[in-house]
Amino acid sequence: MKLLPLLLVSAIVLAASVRSQEENAVPSEGSAVAPVALPVAARIIGNIPDGTPPPPQPPKPVFVVPARDILASTTHQQGGRTITIRKIKPIALPPPPDPAPQPLAAADPAFQARLAEFKESHPNSGMLMLGATVYRFTDSPPRTLVRYWPVGGGESFAFWSSADFSLISGIYSFVATDG
C-alpha cells in the first residue's frame, strides 16, 4: 500500500476524532457556549436473526378437476416426462374486488395532521447502502471487503476491514446516537 493514502486516511480519522470531542465537550462555568445535549444510545430496531430456519410454508391447495368436467385431454411425451393438457368446463370465478380507495390529497388538512403526527413519532430515516464480502482463511482471521454506495449519487468506494461483518448480518434498521 502506498504511504500517501495511508497518511491521508489517518489524518481524516484523527481530525474527525478531535472534532467529535470538541462537539461533545462540556463547557466550563463562565463560558458562553450552551450545554450540548447528550446523545441517545444507539439501538437496533427489530429482531436480529439467530440462524434458525423459518417455519415451513403451508402446503399449496391442490387443483382437482372432477372427471365429468374434463371436455378433452391430450398427452405428450417430452424428454422423459409426460405432459397432459386438459380442456375443462368454465369455472365460476368470484366477483372482482372493489376498487381501492383513492389516495388522500396532499392538501387535505386531515392528511397533513396525520403526517405531522407520524413525523413526530418516528425518527428521521435514511438509507445506508452498504455491502460486505467476508473472506475466511484457515491460517488467519477473516477479512471483509466493504462497499459503500452514496444514496444521493456520487462515487462509490470500497475498503478492507478486519471486522467480521457476517456477525452483523440481519441488521436492517437501527437508530443512531443522534436519534
Please state the pTM of the whole predicted model.
0.37
What secondary structure does DSSP assign to 42-106, as a single string?
Answer: PEE-SPPP-SPPPPPPPPPPP----GGGEEEEEEEEETTEEEEEEEEPPPPPPPPPPPPPPPPPT
Cα 69 to Cα 24, 66, 93: the distances in Å are: 78, 6, 15
What are 13's three cell numbers?
480519522
Contact 177, 40 (CB under 8 A): yes
Contact 132, 146 (CB under 8 A): yes
Contact 65, 85 (CB under 8 A): no
143 Cβ neighbours under 8 A, 6+ residues apart: 134, 135, 137, 160, 161, 162
What are 50's three cell numbers?
439467530
Contact 145, 157 (CB under 8 A): no
Q: Domain boundaries in the chain?
A: 124-179
Per-residue pLDDT at 158 exceeds 90: yes
Tens digits of residue pLDDT in 116-145? 888 887 767 777 888 899 999 888 889 999
What are 117's three cell numbers?
403526527
Of 34-38, 130-134, 149-153, 171-175, which has the strongest mean pLDDT? Answer: 130-134
42 Cβ neighbours under 8 A, 6+ residues apart: 174, 175, 176, 177
Tens digits of residue pLDDT in 49-80? 777 888 899 998 888 889 999 999 999 999 99
Ranges 78-87, 104-113, 159-168: which has the least confidence = 104-113
Number of residues that this document lists for the chain:
179
